Structure 1
Amino acid sequence: MALQIGGAVGAMWLVGEVIGWPLAAVLLLGFVIALSSTAVAIKILEDIGELRTRTGRITVSVLIAQDLAVVPMILVLDVAAVGAFDAGAVLRIVLSVGLLVALILFLSRRQRVSLPIPEYLAAHPDIAPLAGLVVCLGAATIAGLVGLSPAYGAFLAGLTIGNSNLRGALLEPTLPILRILLMVFFLSVGLLIDIDLVWENIELVAFLLLVTLLKTVVNVAILRLLGLGWGIALLSGLVLAQVGEFSFLLGGLAVQREVLSVDEFRIIVTVAALSLAVSAAWLAAVRRLTRVAG
């Protein structure tokens, strides 16, 4: 994951040197391109029957690592936007990375996290969906109060519960909610695509989409360097090709810090939405590859 983010930032730095982008813009675009969509990738893996295979486990591990890196990315962007050394901001970056590493180590223990009321939820399955929503909204509220993204807070709550004794009690009952929210997510992706903006900035949009497509090649190369076979590396690289939903969060932060203008932010959002929209084409390519390989 570090190789992927470093490669994306390095590529944007080379482009930025030619075009004259400031450091904060280079970091932003590198982070945006490095992130993949957890929702879309998992849906693709589920549809092609690869979610529970080694390919699926490796891909999901990369996705989780990317999502966990969002908070350090936000803090790094804050430092770069200021344009001067800020000891307090650097300390926050170190602390955030340390806390994330501690959380990962805590959740990776063989013994699952013990949380209350699993027996109650098992005996009252009609309460389980409501309990899932309460946990989600509660974690999102707490994250918002401490200055993090509410979506990121909900993600951390799900990660924790997924590695606890409440996983079985909440997973199945909340699946209908998941499917509804996925449909709303894809609806919002369609709403974010501004066709007029695409045509007005067709060269820049085409360039950013090309870089996003080249992300597949980089992903495959990195996975191969890590010792994975061609089949797993290619399939995982294709699934990770699109731009992630957290790129919207990073872009919004960049507008607040005056790293991007509103129009530039709209272009990034449109490119990210287009990459998510063509995920169906990636799914068809993955299915064809799996049929050929099989």
Structure 2
Amino acid sequence: MKVSICGCGWLGLPLAHYLKNQGMQVQGSKRTLADAQALSHNGILGFPLALPLNKEAVEELNDFFDCDVMVVNIPPGRKTLLSAQYAQSILILCEEAKRKGCRRLIFISTTSVYGDCTGTVSEKTTPMPTTESGKAHYEIEQGLMASWGEQVTVLRLAGLIGPNRHPVKFLSGRSNIQQGGAPVNLIHQQDCIRAITAIIRSQPVQSVFHLAASQHPSRADYYTAMAKLAGLAVPEFTDNCGENEKQVDALFTCEQLGLVLDKDDLMQVKPELDDLKY
């Protein structure tokens, strides 16, 4: 199976190596030619791909787009593109891929599309995005489902944790933090990779999945515990409000994909930060 990964960054690069080790033919994209060449030297055939796409760039991506499955994992970034430009660029990218022979698409989205929904959120919950990123991702989802039909799968990921990535790093030592009672919605990089691999292999008809650990401790309990595990200053929460904030339930997704999360008990997963010593 030939898989193209748009965006070989924090999630895409380890995904590429994992799929290659599973015996798949994998190629990936980076923003610059130099980074794409470095990717090739690392064992993954690299292509330069930067948004927004221009005509010349599209022609040079013919081999990249000619694949069994393309995984689109390009976040909007904070400075590069406005949300409207980001949505339009991703949709154009995917249409070009379809025109050039891509047979199936996986779009990595975010649970922020659910916005300020409260209580338990399932895959069938109607999105109500409030942030620019959430709105852009939902626009892309709608456009892709209209164009690709059963040949696209949307995977909405909760907050990401894993190697050198954890919210506690930014909350450590802070005070007067509100919503201490709100449940956390997080998912580990390792489980994301396994879920994407399962989608590639099973090619499900279901169009929307989402992923979050089934354990949802309160923000106060969780980040206090994680700070202690990491040897960081404990954050201080002013209240225990937010108990009814959204809680992403991924039971259906896990059942459909035959997935048992490795990092499901969040309270037992230490923050993996290189600059910390345990």
Q: TM-score range by the shorter chain?
A: under 0.3
**Which structure carries more strand by proportion?**
2
**Which structure carries more helix by proportion?**
1
Q: TM-score, normalised by structure 1?
A: 0.25
RCO (CA 8 Å, sep 6+): is it higher in 1 or 2?
1
Q: TM-score, normalised by structure 2?
A: 0.26
